[in-house]
Structure 1
Amino acid sequence: MTDPRAAPGRTHNEINDAIVIGPAILGRDITLRLPAQVPLATSGLPAGSPAFTGRQDDLDRLLACLNPPASDDGAADDDAGAARAVVVTAVGGLAGVGKTELAVQAARTALRRGWFAGGVLFADLFGYDDDRRRDPGQVLEGMLGALGVPGEHIPAHTQDRSRLLRSVLAEFAARGRRILVVADNANTARQAELLLPTDGVNAAIVTSRHTLAMLNARLLDLNVLDPDGALAMLDETLRIADPDDTRIPTDPTGAAALADACGHLPLALRIAAALLAEDPDHTPAALARELGQVQPIEGLAYGRDGVRSAFELSYRTLTPHQQRLFRILTVNPGPNISTAAAAALTDHDEPTVRHQLKDLARAHLIERAAGPDRWRMHDLVRQYATTLGLQHADTDHRDQALHRLLNHYDATTWAANARLDPTATTPTAREFTAREQALVWLDTELPNLTAAARTAADTGHPDTTIALALNLARFLEWRRLFNDWITLSTLARDTAQHTGDRNGTSRAMNNLGLALQEVRRFEEAITALQQATDIFRETGDRHGEGMALNNLGLALRQVRRFDEAITAHHDDLTICRETGDRHGEGVALNSLGIALQEVRRFEEAITAQQEAAAIYRETGDRHGEGRASNSLGIALQEVRRFDEAITAHQQAAAIYRETGDRHGEGRASNNLGLALREVRRFDEALAAGQEAVRAFVEVGDEYSEAIARQSLEETTQASAAPDGH
């Protein structure tokens, strides 16, 4: 503009603190004053929700990435620019998890703190909506216009627009007007990368349902809210509609059930709150029950807004192969799945399936579970995928996929059990090269295997149900998972009886009897084991008959029917010797020795247990050897051969420790403490007793813990007595 102060005949123009794009008609002196801030830069930023909650840690992490450089003038020198090379944060997560809300809250907080004097450029890319998706060129045109670039000076080509945007942003930063770019709902890194600053001072947030690891950005993946955050969101959302609405705090149980039905997903929680807000007489508990009567994903909709429609947009971006894998993963009945199991489902090789699983994880339609090569789905996503899977059951060959999966679980469980069996020859299966490896696999897969056994029973695969239950028995006993053992053994028994499988029935009942003993349901155990013995005898299975007789003897001893127990063990011993079952003979001798102790036939008991320990050593069963040594030590104490008893218990404790049996180590340590007390070695006795208590606490055996604490107290009292007694 012309300065009235200019002399006649002269034009004085001045450019003050401005960025000029396009031609300028200049005189000798030029004055051009632009506003101190471009007002359009912040006009598109959505309002933040007053119910934003449960995301403070995520908000703090995002704000840490937006914090301005230390330089006073806002420009980064070479060193600072290198240190702040990462100026983009990519917020990823499942549809409806709250990515946009977090970005908006962070942007508004940063503006309030004065970090972005140039404002915020916000653009929704609609990357998952085919009808509204915006290409980078369109978005760049809008951003340049917001920054004051005249339309006639915006280049026609996308790359040129990107270069101009970056130049303008850098100029703003150099003049102390940092700008934040928010690119919301990007489908791919390519859709967003041309919109982002590269000057090292301005910053950007990109949100996506995919993990955009190729964007050279700080990655921030959001999870669903924790239970407290979910309840707070329900409460605060309701109070926006009515500040006096107290339904969430006054019905904590119902509110927690509703939050669980929503999977703690913010979108689902907002919809649930809307459904409650429109009906003041409705309760959280009642809404939770309603959602439980259908799949929650069907009920979590409000008009056009719904969880299903949000997931649908993500699903559409998948390739046909990825879509099929997404659908067929729900054939697995357990809570998560390994890559190997997914490969069995799809009948493809593991590398191919692993690649596809990673694609689904990047799209946040599945997520990594605990442990390597493991995957899980959010509950609501699983409901959506299951519905799709049933719709495509024929084309996906869903029945065949289930059959392959059950075979995979059956075969691998057999291999793991074989590795745990001390009497088995080296398993030929390649899955496990060490016992510890088999235990880790079983620990990890147990929820899937339990669910698979139930599914097999319900879908016409009874042999798999029985095989899984039988092959898991040794592991369940080892881990002291007695309730699981009872449940699976009962399922196997019922399945075998229904199909007329006498062999399966007898083996399942034998395992059921053992498991019932462990929870001290002795009469039920005796009944089950007597029935198992009868069926084994009827079917001519001498090995099975001997095994059931041994277990029956153990149960009879617990109810003090000692003579019957001794008879059962003698009968078992006879069968083992007739059939040449050397390991079974060791088991029978050890059990017989324990029963003989109960009727005070200690010398016979010692002989039996010494023979048992020798047979266990001969057959390579270290754990059995430890069991026999511990029983031998008890008998030796009874005849006051305490030094020998101490040696036996020390050997037992060492073997249990070596084989990882913490519960057995506790038993041996307790017995060792008793023997040491008898020879007045009180310090060692107290140490052994304390170790026994620690072991029982660790494994959660309160009954044995109480016994060990009583023994430890008696040792403490004896050590404090004047005469040591």
Structure 2
Amino acid sequence: MEREPYGLGPEADAAGDRRDRVQQWAEASDDARVYQAAGNQYFSWPAPRNVWGPGGGPAPRALASLPPDPAPALAGREERTAALLKHLGPEGPAVTVVTGLPGVGKTALALHTAHRAVGLGLFPGGTLFVRLRGYAPTGAVDAAQALEALLRALGVRDADLPPTPEEQAALYRSELARRAADGGAVLIVADDASSAGQLVPLVPAHPAHRLLVTSRDALTAPDFRPRLLPLGELDAPSAAALIATALAEVDPGDPRAGDEPEALERVTAQCGRLPLALTIAAALLTYDPGLRIADLAHELSDAGRRLGELRYEDGDGRAFAVRTAFDLSYRRLRESDARLFRLLSLNPGPDVSTEAATALTGRPARETRAGLAALARACLLGEHPPRSGRWRMHDLLRLYASGLPADRDEREARGRLMRYYLSACEAADVQLRADPGLPSDRFPDRAAALAWLEAERPNLVATVALATAQEPQTALRLAAALSVYLRQSRHLHDTHAADEYVVAAALRGGTRVVLKGAGPAWQRGPLPGDGVIVHSAVSGAVQRGVTPEELVQARKTKERGQRERTRGHVSEAVATFREAVDTYRLLGHPRGEGRAQEALGLTLHEAGRHAEAATAYAQAFGAYREAYDLLAAATALDHLGLALGAAGRHAEAAAAHIRAAVLFRGQGDPAREAAARRNAEQAARALRGRRADG
């Protein structure tokens, strides 16, 4: 039985350095070890008969344990590498977490930057690396296991490990403090963490050291507040460079990337510029040197099969798959958050607002916002821009979510979303047509309505497309509510697309569609069906319960008047247009009435009956005001000014043109505003000339 002093060890005894010290003794036998805790300091040594213990020598240290640099030139990550190097520098935070969705290249960035930092001499004390396997199906590495691994790397033998996690954490901090004094700063890289609990004991106490973490979650906690470095997908040139570089590394003479740039661009887009997907695509191409990039693009073109195609297996049975990476994150979600994740794939556009997501879930707004934030922390969703209340899901994640088992209330959720978009869009449309603006619970003024329409435009057009097949009447109403905004804002592509969907929706409902001022999409001749909906008046017709037959009669009357006018039959044209005005007025259809009044005014103006024309244009203006169609109302005012001027009423004409210019300006139409102001100036000159003559 050997007896050893606690605290100083045999070397201190041999030097005689035990004066004025408290002597404490403990006994250890065989291969047992004695530990003393002095504050945060831990020392261990074997019994004297074998100074180094059973191993016969000091434990090896693993202070250069970083895996190889995955890419000496990391495509598209120069800016993020520079930012991370700054974080790892002397003035940086103690802990940095590189966070991002599965497969975005977090580990590659961390390792690449760690090697750069070592090369720059930032960590002369060495590097430690530990895989925390936070999302592994078999379970994550807990903090105690990680501490044990790091202590072994620091040279502590298994037999010398303290028995409790708290003591191990204290020994870990002490070892790092000693190494800071002896060798300098140490970098600890903890890869694939899934919780703050895994990391809190790993945070070094000494300010010289750095802890670099990768995680799919934006990890924070009351006792863990790291610097977060979010990582997104690559830009298009970098994504193409990643595949091209991989091909060149395997075969410098591989010509495919240079020969098929357009196909390469399609593949990178189909991969969502996600590094994991791009790496798998590159592996598929290098595995089969005869595979054309265009053929791979064709295989990936089917969105329903894309995730299945983005899979690679090597000869050792190792598999790399985008779907598997997503699975690991999805399985960790709470059921309520998982449901929200699935439902978000029902939104037809590229992003979704908190308000629209609340309509999808049918849950309170605060609960929905909490779920969205949870998905963002898991990097399955992003709020772009931050604090905007707009959320975006990566394209491949959207495909993954849409392929998950459907919820029982999926149909009801989609219906709630469509109703939300429809009601909000119609409210915005009313506000857009109002002069100067109507009180609204949803939109306080025209600017707010325009801002909402601009933010939601892709979603609204996509909803028209979705509703065309599922709810044709919703598609017609939504397209009508969008009509003025799209044309006024010059979104010509979306205007054309919405018009196409209106045709399809009307055909599905057995209704014929006629669009005044139609573009090429409408040059198709007669469409089948007994009914007619004038596209720019759809919302009025639907909201007031006007039947297609009644609209057919009003339209036919107005068309008859146009034919009479073309033939030069002025009296017959005037009588017919007045009949159309009466018909639309009886139907309670002010927009149709306004158009008939404008046609009447034009006929009278051409016939030299300017006073009567002015009356017709004034009534057209009033009808358009009632319909909240200010763009049409401004046009009617400008025509009124021309009729008044022709009648010699120049002062009234100038006033009408000025008012039209103000309305055009309010509707964001500078070209027609300028024309109205020129008309006003001409009326003013005519008035000055008449006064001079008088």
Query: What is the TM-score of this pair, normalised by structure 1?
Result: 0.75
The answer to whether the 8 Å contact 2:437/2:446 transfers is no
Instruction: Report the CA distance shift for 1:288/1:497 in structure 2 as closer, same or farther (over 3 A).
Output: closer
The answer to whether the 8 Å contact 1:68/1:201 transfers is yes
Instruction: Give 2:474's match in structure 1, choosing from 464, 473, 476.
Output: 464
Instruction: Give 1:364's match in structure 2, choosing from 333, 358, 379.
Output: 379
Matching residue of 1:97: 104
Deviations 1:25-65 (A, max 9, x none): 99xxxxxxxxxxx9621124343224621000111111111
* Structure 2 residue identity aligned to 1:291: L
3-state secondary structure, aligned to 1:183: strand
* Structure 1 residue identity aligned to 2:399: Q
Matching residue of 1:651: 659
Residues matched between the structures, number: 626
Matching residue of 1:573: 581
Deviation at 1:287, TM superposition (A): 0.5
3-state secondary structure, aligned to 1:513: coil
Instruction: Give 1:380's match in structure 2, choosing from 396, 400, 405.
Output: 396
Instruction: Give 2:516's match in structure 1, choosing from 488, 513, 518.
Output: 513
Alignment of 1:131-142 (within 5 A): 131=138, 133-142=140-149
Deviation at 1:411, TM superposition (A): 3.1
In the alignment, the residues of structure 2 paired with residue 556 and residue 197 of structure 1 have an alpha-carbon distance, to the nearest angstrom, of 90
* Structure 2 residue identity aligned to 1:411: S
Instruction: Give 1:311's match in structure 2, choosing from 322, 326, 329.
Output: 326
Deviations 1:473-492 (A, max 9, x none): 33334334455445434433
Instruction: Report the CA distance shift for 1:435/1:236 in structure 2 as closer, same or farther (over 3 A).
Output: same
Gaps of 5+ in 2: 1-12, 18-40, 49-59, 314-318, 536-540, 690-694
Alignment of 1:111-150 (within 5 A): 111-131=118-138, 133-150=140-157
Matching residue of 1:4: none
- Tell whether 2:344 aligns with 1:329: yes
Instruction: Report the CA distance shift for 1:620/1:51 in structure 2 as closer, same or farther (over 3 A).
Output: closer
Deviation at 1:680, TM superposition (A): 12
Instruction: Report the CA distance shift for 1:576/1:133 in structure 2 as closer, same or farther (over 3 A).
Output: closer
The answer to whether the 8 Å contact 1:51/1:236 transfers is no
Instruction: Give 1:609's match in structure 2, choosing from 591, 598, 617.
Output: 617
* Structure 1 residue identity aligned to 2:124: A
Matching residue of 1:57: 79
In the alignment, the residues of structure 1 paired with residue 602 and residue 437 of structure 2 have an alpha-carbon distance, to the nearest angstrom, of 29
The answer to whether the 8 Å contact 1:96/1:266 transfers is yes
Matching residue of 2:460: 449
Instruction: Give 1:277's match in structure 2, choosing from 279, 286, 290.
Output: 286
Instruction: Give 1:251's match in structure 2, choosing from 250, 254, 260.
Output: 260
* Structure 2 residue identity aligned to 1:358: A
After alignment, is 571-580 or 462-471 more displaced?
A: 571-580
Instruction: Give 2:364's match in structure 1, choosing from 327, 334, 349.
Output: 349
Matching residue of 2:219: 212
The answer to whether the 8 Å contact 2:488/2:667 transfers is no
The answer to whether the 8 Å contact 2:218/2:377 transfers is yes
Deviations 1:614-647 (A, max 9, x none): 7777998765553333223444666787776554
* Structure 1 residue identity aligned to 2:324: S
Matching residue of 1:593: 601
- Tell whether 2:176 aligns with 1:169: yes
After alignment, is 379-388 or 446-455 more displaced?
A: 446-455
The answer to whether the 8 Å contact 1:94/1:363 transfers is yes
3-state secondary structure, aligned to 1:94: coil
Instruction: Give 1:186's match in structure 2, choosing from 190, 193, 200.
Output: 193
In the alignment, the residues of structure 2 paired with residue 308 and residue 355 of structure 1 have an alpha-carbon distance, to the nearest angstrom, of 26
Matching residue of 2:51: none
Matching residue of 1:473: 483
The answer to whether the 8 Å contact 2:349/2:459 transfers is yes
Q: CA RMSD in A?
A: 4.2
Instruction: Report the CA distance shift for 1:124/1:526 in structure 2 as closer, same or farther (over 3 A).
Output: same
Matching residue of 2:450: 439
* Structure 1 residue identity aligned to 2:617: Q
The answer to whether the 8 Å contact 1:88/1:206 transfers is yes
3-state secondary structure, aligned to 2:202: coil
In the alignment, the residues of structure 1 paired with residue 674 and residue 529 of structure 2 have an alpha-carbon distance, to the nearest angstrom, of 28
Deviations 1:302-354 (A, max 9, x none): 01111011111111111122222212222222222222332232221221111
In the alignment, the residues of structure 1 paired with residue 365 and residue 581 of structure 2 have an alpha-carbon distance, to the nearest angstrom, of 48
Instruction: Give 1:47's match in structure 2, choosing from 69, 74, 79.
Output: 69
- Higher helix residue share: 1
* Structure 1 residue identity aligned to 2:479: A
The answer to whether the 8 Å contact 1:513/1:525 transfers is no
Gaps of 5+ in 1: 1-9, 27-37, 70-83, 682-725
3-state secondary structure, aligned to 2:399: helix
Deviation at 1:231, TM superposition (A): 0.6
Matching residue of 1:292: 301
3-state secondary structure, aligned to 1:41: coil
- Tell whether 2:409 aligns with 1:397: yes
The answer to whether the 8 Å contact 1:522/1:555 transfers is no
Matching residue of 1:67: 89
In the alignment, the residues of structure 1 paired with residue 568 and residue 96 of structure 2 have an alpha-carbon distance, to the nearest angstrom, of 72
Instruction: Report the CA distance shift for 1:600/1:219 in structure 2 as closer, same or farther (over 3 A).
Output: farther
- Tell whether 2:276 aligns with 1:267: yes
* Structure 1 residue identity aligned to 2:394: H
Matching residue of 1:626: 634
Instruction: Report the CA distance shift for 1:127/1:442 in structure 2 as closer, same or farther (over 3 A).
Output: same
In the alignment, the residues of structure 2 paired with residue 530 and residue 323 of structure 1 have an alpha-carbon distance, to the nearest angstrom, of 47
Matching residue of 1:711: none
In the alignment, the residues of structure 2 paired with residue 520 and residue 556 of structure 1 have an alpha-carbon distance, to the nearest angstrom, of 26
Instruction: Report the CA distance shift for 1:320/1:553 in structure 2 as closer, same or farther (over 3 A).
Output: farther
Deviation at 1:66, TM superposition (A): 1.1
* Structure 1 residue identity aligned to 2:398: R
Deviation at 1:560, TM superposition (A): 10
Identity of aligned pairs, percent? 36
The answer to whether the 8 Å contact 1:410/1:468 transfers is yes
- Tell whether 2:422 aligns with 1:414: no
After alignment, is 179-188 or 522-531 more displaced?
A: 522-531
Query: What is the TM-score of this pair, normalised by structure 2?
Result: 0.78
Instruction: Give 1:155's match in structure 2, choosing from 143, 158, 162.
Output: 162
3-state secondary structure, aligned to 1:194: helix
The answer to whether the 8 Å contact 2:189/2:212 transfers is yes
Deviations 1:204-237 (A, max 9, x none): 2111001123332111111100001101111111
The answer to whether the 8 Å contact 2:430/2:628 transfers is no
3-state secondary structure, aligned to 1:128: coil
In the alignment, the residues of structure 1 paired with residue 623 and residue 411 of structure 2 have an alpha-carbon distance, to the nearest angstrom, of 48
In the alignment, the residues of structure 2 paired with residue 50 and residue 556 of structure 1 have an alpha-carbon distance, to the nearest angstrom, of 79
3-state secondary structure, aligned to 1:120: strand
In the alignment, the residues of structure 2 paired with residue 119 and residue 473 of structure 1 have an alpha-carbon distance, to the nearest angstrom, of 65
